[in-house]
Amino acid sequence: MNLFHRAFLYVTRKITKSFTLFLILLVISTLVLSGVAIKDATGTAALNVRQALGGVFTLQQNTDDPSKWVSTPVGNTGSQSYYDGEPLTVELAERIMAGTTGISGYNATYTNYTVPLNTDGKILELLESEDNGSSLGSLIAGSGDFNSTVSTIAATNTAYDSYFAGGYIELVEGKHFTTMDKNSAIMSSELAQHNGLSVGDKITLRMSEYKASMMGIDASKTKVEVTIVGLFRSTAKSTTSLSNWSMDNSIFTTLEVVKTARPDMGDESFERIQFYVNDPGEIDNIVKNVKKLPDLDPTDFIVSIDSSNVDAVMEPLANMNRLISILILLVLVVGAAILCLVLSIRMKERVHESGVQLALGISKKNIVAQYLTEVLIIAVFAFSLSTFTSGFVAKTAGHQLLDNTIADSVQSPAAKSLGTSMDGETFLGSSDFVPEFEGSNPLTKIEVEIEPVMVAGMFSIGFLMICAAVMLAAAPVLRMKPREILSKMS
Amino acid sequence: MGIMEIKGVRYTYDNKRNILKSVHADFEAGNMYAIVGPSGCGKTTLLSLLGGLDSPTGGQILFDGQDIEKIGLAAHRKNDVAFIFQSYNLIDYLTPQENVALTSKLPPLPILERVGLTKEEAKRNVLKLSGGQQQRVAIARALASDASVILADEPTGNLDEDTAIEITNILKECAHQMNKCMIIVTHSNELAKQADMILKLRKGELQIVDASDSNAGKEQKN
């Protein structure tokens, strides 16, 4: 009777012992395989996060550089300063797009405030919301129609707008607009409903009479009619310094419309242009290439890669990755120790059998090989089953861990991103929101899968661990003379 | 020259206690030998040395004229000798048939039937067999190995009187009819009386006792 036959008979006849060992190996292999799968998924999640959050850079005017300002005399004693660098225009954005590969799109923005009116010339009834506790509300009380102004965001492509792309607001009806769509506007569905408006309706925007009188401008001549092409809904809570400047009262439109409604803008152009790149891994090279463009003076602009949102997600992901690596190692070490302990106890119980087999002329190597084969037979079944159990464990635990990690990290910057400056001129204008494109959220599409290569690795490591454990457990028996074993058994 | 020969074998425990001083003996095929002596005199040690379970401190053990150290103890255990233990030492997860087949060079069932087991008993769990039946399986296992020398350590020690007689007869039969050299270590006078030769181990030396002397009182120095 060869060792394989003996091993098979032992495994099938000592059912309780075999089943105990089966459970131990199943638990170890399930934990290890689940850990490896989750670790692998964190890698995929990190890539998704980089792709979703990492591929954006922003162009702003370099107004902090004093050499970019030119002063001209006004009258006999006064002087006027203006920024002499290249303005942020659609033409500039198109030039950068044309001269650089790897950019998927852009959106240029400028924010001001206007008074919205319906077709009857009545000011729209605005939505009430809590302000952020600033004293601006009390300061402007009694300032005419200033309380009816709304944040008016000029955009070149609302699909790439950081509020939409970041998922803080979503288009619920209609469509996005680009520079091709003249006199278009997008407003919140709640504000539209509040005033009986819908997609296709027209509204009018004009300068605040209060502000216009201060500037010596006739507000009635600043009226500009726009068509509502889309409605949005807020998905994140926001606070503002004035209730009428809340996100739900805001209106997206084109720069031409804002310029008409706010003639005091003069030659001002966009405040910033955000460019979205195809491969986030290439963003540093793309920014370098932008700065090297021949018809562009890099000192005119500040080019920034905003990685705060990426870092906010990547750091917990990296921590989780480290934690899972430690857990896998821990499971392997503890598992190996438990396996070694169980096998040592079993080996002690089988000293009698070992002695008998030695007395019958079966070699020590053959006996140890039989014990090893027994564990390997059980391991094949345990490891095979673990590919299914670990699939379930990894998916359940992995999704829970990854979703929490990413959701916490993505949502946390939302509140602080919304804000306003006290002068009331640049409301909601300069925040860098996380881009997340319409209809697609790669962060929620994390798949925790058991790959064949993981199973192969687990089988290899498992078999090596079993070999080591059996050799360690059998070492005392291997060192003993047959007579010592027989005397132990008697 | 017999099939097994012991030449001046010495054995010392921990380099202190001389359990075997200078043992000489010659064992021939077709005979049953009984080694007797008081407890702790070294009978089982001598049997272990003959079976290649341990090595002597000095002297030589020859099988068929060859030093068993040169043959290799594992090879000697596998090919030349077979053991029968007092506590049967059957492997509990194997049936009698499988226990015999463990090292068998011969078909196990006829041998089991020869020592008195039925076909049904040969397929049962060994732990469900009586002591006598288990010892029969142990004898069958020794016979199945086709070894020339069978070493039995107190083979009737755990058995009742009637079963002990049956087992003794089987062992005697094995020696005489199957031409085996049967070397038995025993405290049993009844078993020793059935041997062709009784050897007494005393003060580390082996002495031949007249087989007809049941009390092993009439000693003859080897």
A190 and A117 within one domain: yes
Domain count, chain A: 2
Residue B215 has what pLDDT? 44
Angstrom CA distances, B142 to A314, A388, B111, B174, stand at: 71, 48, 10, 10
Within a domain: A427: no
Per the document, the length of chain A is: 490
Helix and strand numbers, DSSP H then E, in chain B: 8, 11
Q: Smallest Cβ distance to B53: which of A10, A357, A483?
A: A483
Contacts of B107 in chain A (CB under 8 A): none
Share of chain B above pLDDT 90, in %: 14
Most B CBs within 10 A among A353, A483, A485, A488, hence the mutation to make, goes to: A483
Last residue of a domain, one of A306, A338, A367: A306
Hey, which residues does A234 pair with through a beta bridge? Answer: A169
A221 and A346 within one domain: no
User: Does position B162 have pLDDT exceeding 50, yes or no?
Assistant: yes
For every residue of A366-425, which 3-state class applies, written as one string? Answer: HHHHHHHHHHHHHHHHHHHHHHHHHHHHHHHHHHHHHHHHHHHHHHHHHHHHCCCCCCCC
A121 and A87 within one domain: yes
Within a domain: A136: yes
Positive or negative: CA dihedral B73, B76, B79, B83 = negative
pLDDT tens, per residue, chain A with 490 residues: 788 999 999 999 999 999 999 999 999 999 998 888 888 888 777 777 666 665 788 898 888 888 888 888 777 777 777 778 888 999 999 999 998 988 888 999 998 889 999 999 999 998 887 665 555 556 666 667 888 889 899 999 998 888 887 777 889 999 999 988 999 999 999 999 999 999 999 999 999 988 888 888 888 899 999 999 999 998 877 767 677 888 889 999 999 999 999 988 777 789 899 998 877 778 888 988 988 888 888 888 888 886 666 666 677 778 888 888 899 899 989 998 999 999 999 888 888 888 888 878 888 889 999 999 999 999 999 999 998 898 888 888 777 776 666 655 554 333 333 333 333 333 333 332 222 323 334 454 567 778 888 889 889 999 999 999 999 888 887 777 777 776 655 4
- Residue A47 neighbours by CB under 8 Å, 6+ apart: none
Contacts of A9 in chain B (CB under 8 A): 93-94, 98
Question: Which residue from A minimizes the CA distance to B92?
Answer: A353
A147 and A69 within one domain: yes
Last residue of a domain, one of A280, A306, A332: A306
Amino acid code (one letter) for A399: H
Taking an 8 Å cut-off on Cβ atoms, the answer to whether A360 and B54 are in contact is: no
A346 and A273 within one domain: no
Within a domain: A252: yes
B115 HSE (CA, 13 A, CB side):
30
Within a domain: A317: yes
Within a domain: A430: no
A344 and A252 within one domain: no
Q: Smallest Cβ distance to B51: which of A357, A359, A363?
A: A359
φ/ψ of residue A21, rounded to 5: -65, -40
Rounded to whole angstroms, how far apart are CA atoms B191 and B206? 18
A80-119 burial, b for 16+ CB within 10 Å, e for fewer?
eeebebbebebebbeebeeebeebebbbbbbbbbbbbbbe
Last residue of a domain, one of A306, A335, A351: A306
The stretch B132-139 carries a mean pLDDT of: 84
Within a domain: A423: no
DSSP string, B54-98: S--SEEEEEETTEEHHHH-HHHHHHHTEEEE-TT----TTS-HHH
Contacts of A1 in chain B (CB under 8 A): 98, 101-104
A338 and A446 within one domain: yes
For residues A131 and B36, the model is more confident at: B36
A290 and A162 within one domain: yes
Positive or negative: CA dihedral A464, A5, B126, B178 = negative
Within a domain: A150: yes
Crossing angle between the packed helical segments A452-479 and A364-417, to the nearest 10 degrees? 140
- 3 state DSSP class of A227: strand
A275-301 burial, b for 16+ CB within 10 Å, e for fewer?
bbbeebeebeebbebbeeeeebeeebb
Amino acid code (one letter) for A408: D
Interface of B with A (CB under 8 A): 48, 51-54, 73-75, 77-79, 82-83, 85, 87, 89-94, 98, 101-104, 141, 145
Within a domain: A139: yes
A95 and A222 within one domain: yes
Rounded to whole angstroms, how far apart are CA atoms A79 and B208? 136
Q: B57 to chain A nearest CA, in Å? A: 14
A267 and A325 within one domain: no
A317 and A301 within one domain: no
Taking an 8 Å cut-off on Cβ atoms, the answer to whether B48 and A483 are in contact is: yes
Residue B211 has what pLDDT? 52
- Calculate ∠ Cα A88-A91-A94, nearest 5°: 105
User: What ipTM goes with this model?
Assistant: 0.79
> Which of A374, A334, A329 is closest to A467 using CA atoms?
A374
User: Does position B40 have pLDDT exceeding 50, yes or no?
Assistant: yes
Inter-residue contact B137 to B168 (CB < 8 Å): no
Residue ranges of E strands in A207-284: 224-234, 251-253, 272-277
And the tokens for A418?
């919304």
Taking an 8 Å cut-off on Cβ atoms, the answer to whether B74 and A13 are in contact is: no
Most A CBs within 10 A among B13, B39, B47, B48, hence the mutation to make, goes to: B48
Residue A407 has what pLDDT? 59
Element (H, E) at A205: strand A202-206
Domain, as residue range, for A399: 3-48+313-415+440-489
A356 and A267 within one domain: no
The stretch B63-83 carries a mean pLDDT of: 89
User: Does position B55 have pLDDT exceeding 80, yes or no?
Assistant: yes
Angstrom CA distances, A40 to A32, A49, A447, stand at: 12, 14, 10
